[in-house]
Amino acid sequence: MTADARILHRALAFFQPPALIRNPDADEPDAFEAGMIENHKMKPARVIGPLGEPLTLDSLPPQSTTRWVVRRKAEVVAAVTGGLLSVEDACARYNLTPEEFATWQRAVDRSGMAGLRVTRIQHYKSLYQRQQRP
């Protein structure tokens, strides 16, 4: 498995919807195994965006976006997190690498929308590394 494939596999495992993750301690088969979910690619019609507004596929940034401001990055991350888009769909739609998307996701998880600011990436990265030291 190549390095890119490993990174994509990890990103996909991270974004697996919780309802589809099997609980190994459960005594009965989950809904996915029992065939109750026939199409695991079910997606919500809308999700809540980073500013609290509803996001739909139509309200996401245009596919031709080349200038990635904080709000647009956060909207794409929210769409993937909420299940509106898969990681692969987002990467294909916006011509992103899995690493680039994973960087956006980590920045949002660690520092919120402010972490997506290009001028603050180094600051937040060093701050997070200092917090992780014993």
Q: What is the pLDDT of residues 77-123, one digit of tens each?
A: 999 999 999 999 999 999 999 999 999 999 999 888 988 887 655 56
- Which pLDDT score, from 0 to 100, does residue 11 have? 55
Q: Which of these, 72, 81, 132, lies nearest to 105 by C-alpha position? A: 81
- Which pLDDT score, from 0 to 100, does residue 57 have? 94
Q: Which residues contact 7 (CB under 8 A, 6 or more apart)?
A: 98, 99, 102
Helix axes 87-94, 98-111, angle to 10 degrees: 110
- Reported as a single tens digit per residue, the pLDDT across 20-50 is 444 445 555 544 444 444 445 678 999 999 9
pTM of the model: 0.61
